């Protein structure tokens, strides 16, 4: 999409090829989905995972996420040039390098699933379609945050399948909790793009509902996600350590929403949103996986 103003000037790109690549795929955001995959794997393996399976699950996660983020960058290549928040992304790597990264990481994901079990291999194209599809949804539906949640919710189900090779209730419950959690924090994050998205015709729940209503909806989604995490504990047979840790998760949710409370009354506070988005949600993931690990090892 084009605007009369032309592309926006952006800060200089990171100095080394590796830092540019890691910034391009936002590698630091791996901390969101990976803990839930690892927690699901630990429960499936009753706290004693096969190290080969663990290594391949982590590798598959990194490859799938790299492919998904690269697809997102390519899908938004032209639009990102005009968004003040994303104006420098296309300068981090060339388009041809991004295409090569997309193909390579997607193939690596499929090959890694082949080393796990036949069901994981058979479902690997389905997983890629789900994680790629999110990047297109902002063009035709308001429910983009839910599709992003679905993309990350694939992780705990895939990790469970890697261990047990069949669908069961606990990972599906955890997937629902992850979907709600991600949709909630992405509603907060998307408030930073509210004016730009409205101007260029991109769609999301924030554009549809406005900032104040979106922040209220995020609170409800995180409340439901909290109940989902508790339901996972019950379905997975987890004990007191896990359930006690949920108090910390609830505290992180309160912190996150309090940090962005001022956004509802005016322009998005970028610093507050970034702190809420990364710090609080990284903390939720860390508490979750450490609580699962402690529960499994100390019972």
Query: Tens of pLDDT along 32-68?
Result: 889 999 999 999 999 999 999 999 999 999 999 999 9
268 has a pLDDT exceeding 60: no
**What does the pLDDT average to over 280-295?**
95
252 has a pLDDT exceeding 90: yes
Domains in the chain, ordered, with CATH? 17-298 (1.10.357.140)
Instruction: Say what the pLDDT of residue 1 is.
Output: 39
**What does the pLDDT average to over 125-135?**
97
Q: What is the pLDDT of residues 182-239, one digit of tens each?
A: 999 999 999 989 999 999 999 999 999 999 999 999 999 999 999 999 999 999 999 9
Residues in the chain: 299
Spatial separation of the C-alpha atoms in residues 198 and 191, rounded to whole Å: 11
Q: What is the pLDDT of residues 61-105, one digit of tens each?
A: 999 999 999 999 999 998 888 888 777 776 788 899 999 999 999
Instruction: Say what the pLDDT of residue 2 is.
Output: 40
Whose tokens are 């993309």? That residue is: 151
- For the CA atoms of the chain, what is the radius of gyration? 19
5 has a pLDDT exceeding 50: no
Query: Quick check: 145 and 190 in contact, CB under 8 A?
Result: yes
From the list 183, 185, 187, 210, the residue with the least C-alpha distance to 198 is 210
Instruction: Say what the pLDDT of residue 4 is.
Output: 41
Q: How confident is the model at residue 277 (pLDDT cuts 50, 70, 90)?
A: confident
Averaged confidence pLDDT in the chain: 89
Instruction: Say what the pLDDT of residue 279 is.
Output: 85
At 190, list the tokens: 């998307």
Instruction: Say what the pLDDT of residue 74 is.
Output: 93
Q: How confident is the model at residue 14 (pLDDT cuts 50, 70, 90)?
A: low
Spatial separation of the C-alpha atoms in residues 10 and 94, rounded to whole Å: 16
From the list 228, 231, 206, the residue with the least C-alpha distance to 218 is 206
Query: Quick check: 175 and 225 in contact, CB under 8 A?
Result: no
Q: How confident is the model at residue 9 (pLDDT cuts 50, 70, 90)?
A: very low
Instruction: Say what the pLDDT of residue 299 is.
Output: 77
13 has a pLDDT exceeding 70: no
Q: How confident is the model at residue 287 (pLDDT cuts 50, 70, 90)?
A: very high
Highest average pLDDT, of 146-155, 256-265, 272-281, comes from 146-155
**What does the pLDDT average to over 240-260?**
94
């Amino acid at each position: 999409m084009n605007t009369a103003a032309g592309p926006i000037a952006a800060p200089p790109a990171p100095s080394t090829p590796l830092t540019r690549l890691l910034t391009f795929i936002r590698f630091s955001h791996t901390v969101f989905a990976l803990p839930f995959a690892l927690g699901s794997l630990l429960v499936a393996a009753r706290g004693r995972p096969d190290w080969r399976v663990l290594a391949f699950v982590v590798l598959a996660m990194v490859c799938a996420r790299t492919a998904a983020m690269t697809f997102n960058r390519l899908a938004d290549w032209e639009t990102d040039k005009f968004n003040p928040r994303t104006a420098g992304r296309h300068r981090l790597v060339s388009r041809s390098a991004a295409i090569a990264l997309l193909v390579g990481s997607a193939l690596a994901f499929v090959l890694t699933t082949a080393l796990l079990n036949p069901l994981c291999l058979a479902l690997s194209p389905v997983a890629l379609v789900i994680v790629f599809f999110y990047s297109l949804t902002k063009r035709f539906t308001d429910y983009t945050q839910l599709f992003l949640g679905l993309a990350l919710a694939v992780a705990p189900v895939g990790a469970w399948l890697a261990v047990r090779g069949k669908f069961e209730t606990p990972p599906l419950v955890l997937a629902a909790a992850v979907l709600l959690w991600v949709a909630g924090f992405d509603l907060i994050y998307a408030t930073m793009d509210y004016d730009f998205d409205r101007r260029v015709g991109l769609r999301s729940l924030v554009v549809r509902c406005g900032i104040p209503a979106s922040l209220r909806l995020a609170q409800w989604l995180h409340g439901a996600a909290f109940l989902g995490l508790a339901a996972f504990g019950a379905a997975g047979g987890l004990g007191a350590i896990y359930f006690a840790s949920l108090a910390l998760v609830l505290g992180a949710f309160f912190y996150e929403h309090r940090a962005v409370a001022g956004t509802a009354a005016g322009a998005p506070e970028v610093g507050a949103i970034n702190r809420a988005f990364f710090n609080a949600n990284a903390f939720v993931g860390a508490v979750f996986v450490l609580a699962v690990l402690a529960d499994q090892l100390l019972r």
